[in-house]
Amino acid sequence: MVKSKPPRTFSYKRCPDCLTTLELTATVCIACRRRVGTVDRQGRAKRPVNYIGYLAALFWVVILMGYIWFFFIRSP
Ligand SMILES: [Zn+2]
């Protein structure tokens, strides 16, 4: 006879960085002040995607390409 596992539900989640127990509705860790996302299947909070970081990285790549173009590729 095969027992069907009930879906796991959590009444709390853990910060992915410092493993502090947080409420499910928490969006910021109370201990390390990092942003936390929704709970995953292991009961840990997911790290929210850092869009600002991606945008900043893209910005600096564009600046670098412009620099290379300006000083090395641009015809005099
Ligand atoms: Zn934390």
Beta carbons of 21 and 14 less than 8 angstroms apart: yes
pTM to 2 decimal places:
0.57
* Segment 31-56 mean pLDDT: 91
Q: How far is Cα 45 from Cα 13, in angstroms, rounded to an integer?
A: 6
Q: How far is Cα 44 from Cα 56, in angstroms, rounded to an integer?
A: 28
What is the Å distance from ligand 1's center to 33 Cα?
6
What is the Å distance from ligand 1's center to 12 Cα?
13
What is the Å distance from ligand 1's center to 34 Cα?
6
What is the Å distance from ligand 1's center to 60 Cα?
29
What is the Å distance from ligand 1's center to 15 Cα?
5
* Segment 1-7 mean pLDDT: 66
- What are the residue ranges spanned by the domains of the chain? 12-73
